Structure 1
Amino acid sequence: MEKSYMLISCEMGEEQLLYSQLKEIPEVKNCLVTFGSYDVVAEFETDNQSQMNEVITTKIRKLKKIRSTITLRAMN
């Protein structure tokens, strides 16, 4: 099992839209709108590293209104 957290900065005023889009992705287990340097924090899980890379590159980073991301991979 692979687990990661992503810190996301988005365009101003688009936090709720991005939150809604992230919640529709099955691998996203938790999502929070935050205040500060990052606008949204997403927690997601996959079965393996290959799936993790696919979720990051094809599902999350391609969402519109995202300006930047930082991914933190967690170890169990």
Structure 2
Amino acid sequence: MTSPEQPHMPILQQFLDLYCELFNHDGFGEIRVEMRILRRGQKEIIIHCGKQYRHVLNCDNALANESALKHLLKRDILA
């Protein structure tokens, strides 16, 4: 993995495939994406489209944009 975008490519490809399938479907459809912070600096990405497609990615910067104190508290809670 040479770039940060590479881990996301299978998820984006699956989303694109589901979008195309839904667009070509002769009827109603719905896509929903859910992201949650997990323990150990990971994120879970769930794509809902009739079924659930679950992915877990390492995400060291998931808590990086928060204050240092809040970051440490969440690390303790999530660990």
TM-score bracket for the superposition, by shorter chain length: under 0.3
Higher-Rg member (1/2):
2
More helix by share: 2
- Pick 1 or 2: higher relative contact order, CA cutoff 8 A, min separation 6: 1
More strand by share: 1
TM-score (norm 2): 0.26
TM-score (norm 1): 0.27
